[in-house]
Amino acid sequence: MHSQIFQDYPPKDKSSLIPLLQDVQNIYGYLPEDALQEIADYVGLPLSRVYGVATFYNQFRLIPLGENVIKVCRGTACHVKNSSNVLYAVESALNIKAGQTSRDKKFSIEVVNCIGACSIAPVITINDEYFGRLTVKEIPTILKKFTGSPKPKQAESTTEKNLV
Amino acid sequence: MVQLTINNIKVNAEEGMTILDAAKSVGISVPTLCHLKDLIPTGACRICSVEVEGQRGLVPSCAFPIYEGMVVDTNSPRVRRARKTIVELLVENHPQDCLICVRNKNCELQDLSEKYGLREHRFVGETKDHAIDISSASMERDPAKCILCGRCVRVCHEIQKVGAIDFTNRGFASIVTTPYNKGLNISDCILCGQCILVCPTAALREKSTLKEVSNALRDKSKYVIVQVAPAVRASLGEEYHFPLGTDVTGQLVTGLRRLGFKKVFDTNFAADLTIMEEAAELISRIKNNAPLPMFTSCCPGWIKFAESNYPEILPYLSSCKSPHEMEGAVLKTYYAKKMGINPKDIFVVSIMPCTVKKYESNRAELSEETHPDVDAVLTTRELVRFFKMVGIDFEGLPQDTFDNPLGESTGAAAIFGTSGGVMEAALRTAYYKMTGKDLEHLEFESIRGLDGLKEAVVNIDGTVLNIAVVNGIGNVRQVIDDIKENKSKYQFIEVMACPGGCINGGGQPIHQIPEKVVKRMKALYQIDMEMKSRRSYENESIKALYKEYFIEPNSHKAHDILHTDYVNRKKTLKN
């Protein structure tokens, strides 16, 4: 299935495991189960070990990302500005935890360490859009903008609004 | 040699030894949790920490090599404090249910808690909350009780080379589990239970069928029969303070009678029967140029391993059922007819040193339409619990002998419980079948012992057989690869999934005494030595069984009742 990726690596070589996982994730945006088994067979490791590595590193994802990726900043400045409450509010609004994707595949939540926008802490990003100086109350309204109609249109309109 | 000082005692030890081993050599014991003898140390749990002069922090003695002039204190207040804290942290993240735990009084965490005098809960915090995996017929996995020592993982990967479970996730979310946290029943696990034997707590344990058995014994409509595997008699005594390797067959028979079983039969009988069938199969394969090498099929762990990893070699497996399944099948056909009992009313219980046998007895291939060959399997450990529950004082029991006709056996059957035993027993009979003469020298020393792969060349009247004996399922991979590449020289291969064979099976008593396997092995060879008949074809009850029922080995009827077939269980990719 992934012969094109595999040809860059010698077979039965354990040290290729992480690069292979990265390559496969670059294609799909996540690591499908069948691909993990294929990688395991190729590098000569049990599936359990490959799964162990894939779940150990934060960079690997076992489920596809949602249509909209919410990144909640938990850096120092945001932390001081109560970003834990922001995270909690986002999680409860979508009824999923950080690292998960909502059942309708509309949203994924990720926690990041600092997105470099400390001046507007606490801050989250949804796709490429920044929402700063957030209060917990605003979160449902922001999320509402991303539900329903297709993504590109939504993004345009919200950007306009933000400019105004 | 290196000279060092441990607790003010001058110690001369070999270079390259760890502090732990050097201390042990002078009678100083250091507690361990993650340590497993003969495997590369991980130093994960830190309970073996000791103080070494000149070292800034405490060092893990299981992983730290000794050097000349080293000064070690294994018992300083600092060491004791550190160890106690480690135990406290482990205990606080562990269910506080010792009283109702299957490993109560046989738990390494409990022992450490006692040793370091834990009297209060100093740390209270979040605890792990994981569901119990009861998906398999043989084993249960309770990750809440797991202390992440990693012993099961290392046995599974490094010794058995199965790799069904591993550490997943990280930090507090770490859990030893199968890929995608799916049930053991759909993982690569062969249910050998070697992980149970090394688990310090009850995170891994057998799935008990004690209740079914005890209910059947109360059921007046059931004719409940028990059979005992060869390896159980060599290990059961350990649970009752008999010296390692004591043969307790006599007490075992009495104990089982007192539990209320109508008949107490011996799986050794069926082991002799297996040999009759297997030897005949081997000879016919040699004569008819059928696929060789032929693999033995007594070990259900091996069968499961072959079915799910190497389905292409299934034609090489002997079609013989494993001995306890044969015994069950004979009980529900020949014996039922002889005694005038409806096979549906017979409830066969097997006492086995094995966890996979539980799964095996549930296999559809080993069942008739109305009833399975064997109804329930109890491990050696469960039998001990049963004896305790019923109030049987095992040590004081008088000795008794098995019922007949399915209780008679030869020395060849006794050694079925150890690696090399099935092969040796088969050769004794195959020799007779091929030459018409009794084999004089019965002992095949080169296939005895604990090596993972043992081989021998046997010349039977001009027919040269290259044979191999594999124990520890990981060692079979190379053998199979050789066959696939047409490089194999063998004609007959015995495989047992557990290192050492059934004597070290996953259902055996749990304790970490290294000599246990060798001692149990000796006990079985001793039983063989003392037997009047030591060749399976000399078993009078077996002769009668063929005369009255099966006619001859591999007859149509024998194939119907004593043989089975295998299923390709390899996981296939969806696209």
Is the CB of A51 less than 8 angstroms away from the CB of B571? Answer: no
Same structural domain, B51 and B144: no
> What average pLDDT is seen over chain B?
95
Pick from A46, A50, A52: which is nearest to B188 by CB? A46
Cβ–Cβ below 8 Å for B166 and A36: no
The b-or-e profile of B486-522 (16+ CB within 10 A means b, else e) is: eebebbbbbbbbbbbbbbbbbbbbbeeeeebbbbbbb
Residues B573, A1: C-beta atoms closer than 8 Å? yes
**Does B188 sit within 8 Å of A49, measured CB to CB?**
no
Residue B442 lies in a domain: yes
* B310 confidence band (pLDDT: 50, 70, 90): very high
Residues of B recognised as catalytic = 278, 281, 298, 318, 357, 360, 365, 502
Displacement of CA B465 from its chain's centroid (Å): 28
Query: In the CATH scheme, what is the code of domain A3-56?
Result: 1.10.10.1590
Contact B180 A33 (CB under 8 A): yes
Q: What is the pLDDT of residues A104-118, one digit of tens each?
A: 889 999 899 898 999
Region B452-460: mean pLDDT is: 94
pLDDT in tens, B62-113: 999 999 999 999 999 999 999 999 999 999 999 999 999 999 999 999 999 9
Closest CA–CA distance from residue B531 to any residue of chain A (Å): 45
**Share of residues in chain A with pLDDT > 90 (%):** 67
What pLDDT band is residue A100 in, cutting at 50, 70 and 90? confident
- Confidence (pLDDT) at B572: 61
Q: At what angle do helices B210-218 and B380-390 cross, to 10 degrees?
A: 50
Residue from B534, B542, B277 nearest B424 by CA: B534
Domain match, B525 and B446 both: yes
Residue B84 lies in a domain: no
B23/B432 Cα distance (integer angstroms): 53
- Whether the per-residue pLDDT at A160 is higher than 80: the answer is no
> Pairing between strand B9-13 and B2-6?
antiparallel
Instruction: Name the residue facing B170 among A37, A50, A56 (closest C-beta).
Output: A56
Q: What is the nearest CA distance from B102 to chain A, expressed in angstroms?
A: 27
How many CB pairs lie under 8 A apart between chains A and B? 48
Mutate to test the interface with A, among B168, B170, B184 (most CBs of A within 10 A): B168
Q: Is B572 among the domain residues?
A: no
Measured in angstroms, the CA of A122 and the nearest CA of chain B are apart by 26
d(CA B429, CA A84): 75
Domain around B63: 2-75
Q: Output the pLDDT for position A156.
A: 40
Examine the pLDDT at B298 and tell me if it is beyond 50. yes
**CB neighbours of residue A76 within 10 Å:** 13
Average pLDDT, stretch B469-482?
96
Domains A3-56 and A68-163 fall in the same CATH topology? no
**CATH code, domain with B121:** 3.30.70.20
Residues on chain B touching A46 (C-beta within 8 angstroms)? 157, 162-164, 166, 188
Give the count of domains, chain B.
3
The pLDDT assigned to B571 comes to 72
Whole-angstrom distance, CA of residue B13 vs CA of residue B19: 9
CA B544 to CA B547: how far, in whole Å? 5
Determine whether the interchain pair A34/B188 forms a contact, defined as Cβ–Cβ distance below 8 Å.
no
Kindly report the backbone phi and psi dihedral angles of residue B498, in degrees, each rounded to the nearest multiple of 5, phi listed first. Answer: -90, 145
Q: Shortest Cα distance from B106 to chain A (angstroms)?
A: 29
Show the tokens assigned to B64: 């730290």
Place of tokens 């104990």: B255
B163 and A56 within 8 Å at the Cβ level: the answer is no
What is the layout of strands, in order, in the sheet containing A107-112?
A107-112, A68-73, A124-126, A129-131
Q: Are B264 and B362 members of one domain? A: yes
Contacts of A34 in chain B (CB under 8 A): 573-575
In chain A, where the domains are located: 3-56, 68-163
Please compute the mean of the pLDDT values over residues A31-38 and round it to a whole number: 93
Tell whether B568 is covered by a domain: no
Architecture of the structural domain at A68-163: 3-Layer(aba) Sandwich (3.40)
- Average pLDDT of the segment spanning B171-193: 93
pLDDT bucket at B180, cuts 50 / 70 / 90? very high
Residues of A in contact with B305 (CB under 8 A): none
**In the structure, what pLDDT confidence band is assigned to residue A148 with cuts at 50, 70 and 90?**
low
pLDDT digit string, tens, across residues B531-540 = 999 999 999 9
Q: What is the pLDDT of residues B195-215, one digit of tens each?
A: 999 999 999 999 999 999 999
The pLDDT value given to residue B570:
85
